[in-house]
Amino acid sequence: MTVDYKNNAVLQYSITTFIMILLITLLVTSLISRYTTEYLIETHIRLHPSAISLLVNNNETLTEMFVDERVNFDASDTPEFADEIIRFGDVFRIKIWGKSGIILWSNSHEIIGQSFSDNKHFIDAMNGDISYSIEIPDSSENASELSYEKIMEIYTPIFKNGEIIGVIEVYENYEKLESYINTITNKIYLIIISCGGALYFLQFFIFYNVYRRLRRSNHKLSKSKEVTLFALATLAETRDNETGQHIQRTAEYVRIIAEKLSETPDFSSYLTRKYINDLVISAPLHDIGKVGIRDSILLKKGKLTKEEFEEMKKHCIIGTMSPT
């Protein structure tokens, strides 16, 4: 069965509305998910600076290390504050950066004393911003983290008397946070797509009910048109019994000819079932102009004179002047 998309208003509306709502839903979902992800990450990284600042301000040895940029090459000598930071969340690595970009201490001993002054996030932190990055370990600076699929590096500027004296960087296993974010964004997708689907079905229900009422109204109007045409044709029949029989035959001729023509390539595109039905309904009116011919001519039993025949031919012109 072939679906006539061009003439099917319900199908056109359904497909168009579905595509529009789908696109809007995906756009809204993408935007909300992105902002939600950024918000969750920003909220998460804000937890570390507060704890780190509190620990650093209460540790004079660490403050002196920053001020003097004194490198502690003994990675096994873990400061007390570092143990407390590592116990915070999923932190597994700490780096203490001097102002010049030298690693003053880290629980990854192979990078102690090395300089990474061109690190963008370190530079941002030295400008007073809390910076972070989500990385897949693949550089010499992250050599000891290659066992993790993704890591989050959080750079916290350390202040002393309003001046930045260094940066503390902590590494977290990002997988746990990522899993939490994915759970939240998946719920957002589900909620918004469900709302989009509900909106689509609500609009479709409203449109379909309006469409059904409109079809009923059109059907009633069509029936009224048929009754009107039948009444006009009957009027001609009451004036001329011969015409009455003639209009019935003409209507049937029109149907037969139109149906045959609709099977040919030249006419099949517009001789639809509805079009043919309209032709058949209208066919009886082809002689409606005879109602304007005088009874003495229309009902004359004998042969018409030349003048009478000329007047009889005027019924075609009279018919074109009717409201139909």
- Mean pLDDT, rounded, for 56-78: 72
Tokens of 151: 């890591």
Rounded CA-CA distance 96/171 in Å is: 12
Alpha carbon 204 to its chain centroid, in Å, reads 16
> What's the pLDDT score for residue 275?
87
* Those residues with Cβ within 8 angstroms of residue 183's Cβ, 6 or more apart along the chain or in another chain: none
Check whether 146 has a pLDDT greater than 80. Answer: no
Q: How far apart are CA 122 and CA 120, in angstroms?
A: 5
Higher-scoring residue by pLDDT: 7, 249: 249
Give the contacts of 42 (CB within 8 A, at least 6 positions apart): none
What are the pLDDT digits (tens) for 93-122?
888 899 999 998 888 788 888 999 899 999
pLDDT, mean of residues 178-193: 88
* Cβ pair 234, 284 in contact under 8 A: no
pLDDT at 123 over 90: yes
- Nearest 5 degrees, angle CA 71-CA 166-CA 104? 15
**Residue 21: per-residue pLDDT:** 85
Average pLDDT of the segment spanning 252-259: 89
CA-based nearest residue to 159, from 50, 46, 42: 50
Query: What is the reported pLDDT for 155?
Result: 92
Mean pLDDT for the chain overall: 80
pTM exceeding 0.85: no
Q: What share of the chain is helix, strand, coil (3-state, %, to 5)?
A: 65, 10, 25
What CA–CA distance (Å, rounded) separates 189 from 26?
Answer: 8
Sign for the pseudo-dihedral over CA of 128, 130, 136, 137: positive
Of residues 67 and 5, more confidence is placed in 67
Does the structure show a pLDDT above 80 at 42? yes
Choose the most confident range, by mean pLDDT, from 5-14, 18-27, 69-78, 217-226.
18-27
More confident residue, 272 or 5: 272
Of 309, 194, 276, 284, whose CA–CA distance to 234 is shortest? Answer: 284
- pLDDT tier for residue 1 given thresholds of 50, 70 and 90: very low
In the chain, the domains with their CATH numbers are: 1-219 (3.30.450.20)
Q: Which two tokens stand for residue 131?
A: 């910076």
pLDDT at 124 over 90: yes
Question: 172, 91 in Cβ contact below 8 A?
Answer: yes
CA atoms within 13 A on the CB side of 118: 1
Question: What pLDDT band is residue 142 in, cutting at 50, 70 and 90?
Answer: low
